[in-house]
Structure 1
Amino acid sequence: MHYKIKNNQVEFVFPVKRESLYLKGTFTNWQVDEAFRFENRKNGCQLIKKIDEVNKIGNSGFIEYVIWDDDVQAPVEIAPLQTGHYFNNQSNGGFNQLLFLNPPSQRQLQEISKASEQSFLIKNQIEQFASNSELANFRAVTGGQLKPGGLYRSYHPVTPSRSHHAELKTIEPLRQAAAMSLIEEHRIQSVVNLSDSEQVLVHAMASAPDSYYKRCWQHGHVYSVPVAYETVYFMSDCNQALNNDELGFQDGIRGLIRAIACSQGPYLVHCRLGSDRTGVMCAFLQLMAGASKQQIADNYLMTNQLGIGEYRSFRLLERALTAALGEACFSDGIDATTIYMKRLDISDKLIKQARTNLFS
């Protein structure tokens, strides 16, 4: 480890003097930031930051970082790697170091190591998938009072997400085709699209071939509720949008409830991967229905079988929902979501209608 924690600070040290070293990680959105530049000291380099300045977890569920050499535009190689202290860097196939605010147990380190290994999994042959549903990340959302066959989630059925990935580009069209086929098979009536603004959706649909999804859109049954990955995970305690053509988290919830209340099921919720934005919004609906924490976790973690060289920890979802709804949301989701929606001035009429449409 290249850090130690004392009181409310983290001290990072590196045993070599260099002018070009930075700490780069989840807390800098993986950008070089002058506020995270190492300073030369007698025995090497040092950087001291407050815990609050670095306390932002990554896909592993823990704080992730690299020591970055800006002169060579690459992370400094850290060896030897300690089991459970590193995770897949999903942008370059290398490793990120993990920062633990509390000492991890051996069991926890083994779980992290196993998850990191899983995160490198690439499936690029149709035979590697147990079903079209697994290929398309398509599944029913269940738990609590949710109607059987009333709510589904999936990969984006129109826009490819991994078409430029050398190992995935050939299977991507098959993934879109599978998603489209399943939408029609389950006779989806209304779609909540979390990735595309109205403008983007209009442009995409104008050139898209005829499909069941396009016909849903033409009949006004595809609802644009665009939110960002960062918004649902790290900005769920406010209503600030990450980008100009997106919604803040609270407006995203308003749009989700309005879409469901004003349309008929079965419903489909999707973003690009059907993982993050879809995962958080579907978990909110599961909490509304009184689903258990285990049911929510099981549904969310199924995306890790997608085989795209990525991984998501349930800790991400847990942090997002507790930040928005409070620490008790998993023990009484119905009450927590009701209080939250009322705080957002969502009318009793809309809440009641959304529940009627979703619940048994």
Structure 2
Amino acid sequence: MGKNNLYRSYHPFKKSRPKHPLEDQRITMVQKLISDKNINSIINLSDTNESIPAEFKCYKNMLDNAHILFTNKGYNYDVFYYISGSDEFSNLIRRIINFILEPSNKTPFLIHCRIGTDRTGIIIAILAAFMGAEWKDIVIDYQKSNNLGIGEYRDEKLIEYAFKEMLGANFRDKNLEKLITDYFKNRLNLNNDKLQKLKDKLS
């Protein structure tokens, strides 16, 4: 995956751990990331279209220009981890990819949910696999959320279970990039032209 084209983060203005002493710092860091990296398009996995704080102008500007995808609150953790082989999940992946492919939605992209770990972690992992990342590197990136400072831990088995549901029990013994590409073709009905455009955009 190309450098500086895709990021994941904590929610940029909603507090998930309001009593935690580092919560304000986490929110500030995400807002600084959006500003410093000139984020142009956002995929919000936790909300419907919502009221944006007036002082957070860059997020509001992206919303006004249709550069934010809200996937709504209907997708819970079970969809991402335990029923990722379902049509419900594949339809979500299709929506996300079509949003990325939309020419008006420019890089860099930011994907976030509430804490940027579960829903966001799985989507980032799928895109990384499509771009040719090795499994060990995907797991390392996924588990970086364990350093968030909120006292929660995500085991490798969670992400492995999600990929098994999507790709089959023996996915680690096969070419992961090809498996994801075939999944995109067969489950999402994405043709070679769209897949190449997706690679080019994220490269």
Secondary structure at 1:148's aligned position in 2?
A: coil
1:148 corresponds to: 3
1:258 corresponds to: 98
Secondary structure at 2:111's aligned position in 1?
A: strand
1:275 corresponds to: 117
In 1: Cα distance, 2:13 partner to 2:38 partner: 17
1:217 aligns with 2:63: yes
Q: Is the Cα–Cα contact under 8 Å of residues 90 and 188 in structure 2 kept in the other structure?
A: no
Q: Is the Cα–Cα contact under 8 Å of residues 91 and 188 in structure 2 kept in the other structure?
A: no
5 Å-filtered alignment, 1:30-45, equals: none
For structure 1, the residue ranges without an aligned partner over 5 or more in a row are 1-145, 240-247
1:344 aligns with 2:199: no
User: How much has 1:238 moved relative to structure 2?
Assistant: 1.0
1:353 corresponds to: 197
Rate the CA distance shift 1:282–1:345 in 2: closer, same or farther, 3 A: closer
RMSD: 1.6
What is the TM-score with the length of structure 1 in the denominator?
0.52
Q: Is the Cα–Cα contact under 8 Å of residues 81 and 159 in structure 2 kept in the other structure?
A: yes
Q: Which amino acid aligns with 1:194?
A: L
User: How much has 1:208 moved relative to structure 2?
Assistant: 4.0
In 2: Cα distance, 1:184 partner to 1:319 partner: 35
Greater relative contact order (CA < 8 Å, ≥ 6 in sequence): 2
In 2: Cα distance, 1:173 partner to 1:350 partner: 40
5 Å-filtered alignment, 1:179-328, equals: 179-197=30-48, 201=49, 203-205=50-52, 207-226=53-72, 227-239=75-87, 248-262=88-102, 263-328=105-170
In 2: Cα distance, 1:174 partner to 1:356 partner: 34
User: How much has 1:340 moved relative to structure 2?
Assistant: 0.9
Secondary structure at 2:95's aligned position in 1?
A: helix
User: How much has 1:293 moved relative to structure 2?
Assistant: 0.9
In 2: Cα distance, 1:301 partner to 1:194 partner: 19
Q: Is the Cα–Cα contact under 8 Å of residues 304 and 310 in structure 1 kept in the other structure?
A: yes
In 2: Cα distance, 1:345 partner to 1:333 partner: 17
Calculate percent identity across the aligned residue pairs. Answer: 32
1:154-197 Cα shifts (integer Å, max 9, x gaps): 0010211111x4xx0x4322211110111110111111111112
Once superposed, which parts of structure 1, at least 4 consecutive aligned residues long, lie more than 4 Å away?
none
Aligned length: 197
Which has more helix, going by share of residues? 2
What is the TM-score with the length of structure 2 in the denominator?
0.90
In 2: Cα distance, 1:345 partner to 1:284 partner: 13
User: How much has 1:291 moved relative to structure 2?
Assistant: 0.5
Q: Is the Cα–Cα contact under 8 Å of residues 46 and 114 in structure 2 kept in the other structure?
A: yes
1:160 aligns with 2:3: no
In 2: Cα distance, 1:216 partner to 1:317 partner: 31
For structure 2, the residue ranges without an aligned partner over 5 or more in a row are none
Q: Is the Cα–Cα contact under 8 Å of residues 129 and 176 in structure 2 kept in the other structure?
A: yes
In 1: Cα distance, 2:198 partner to 2:170 partner: 23
Secondary structure at 2:51's aligned position in 1?
A: helix
